[in-house]
Amino acid sequence: MNINFIAIGKLKESCFREACEEYRKRLLAYSNVRIYEPEPVFLPQSPSQSQITQALAKEADKLRELSKGFKIAMCIEGKEFSSEELSEKIRDISEMSFIIGSSYGLDEKFKQECDMRLSMSKMTFPHSLARVMIFEQVYRALSIKANSKYHK
């Protein structure tokens, strides 16, 4: 199994980088893991909607190049799954890409091109925390699949 985590921008806070790295190491027991962090498109302090739309389209071009296999767009309007449901959903997928956009989200056309839209909650989380959460949930899903003791 190959898993790609693609997120616009680098994690700045060391605590979040360390948490993602810990789950990346754990995931290696179940899959090959690749992490991509393309740079966000620069926007002014108070961008117009047109500037945001153009930036998201440019970021989407980068995301298309990097995403492989079953493409999962992380977005608030996506479907919510329990850990068990996520495990079942990805059970037989040989390659997948979890894609997190910039602070303005993902380009709408790009989301339509993805195979699935996934939401972790109706609540809003900082992108850095959301990245840790998706790493943990993918690890949990694969642990469930492997019948390990991690998931209780």
Give pLDDT tens digits for 59-79: 999 999 999 999 999 999 999
Domain ranges of the chain: 2-145
- The fold for domain 2-145 equals Alpha/beta knot (3.40.1280)
pTM across the whole model: 0.94
Q: Decide if 1 contacts 94 (C-beta within 8 A).
A: yes
pLDDT of residue 152: 66
Q: Using alpha carbons only, give the angle 29, 90, 79 rounded to the nearest 5 degrees.
A: 130
| 101-145: pLDDT as tens digits | 998 999 999 999 999 999 999 998 888 999 999 999 999 999 999
Phi, psi of 122 (to 5 degrees): -80, -15
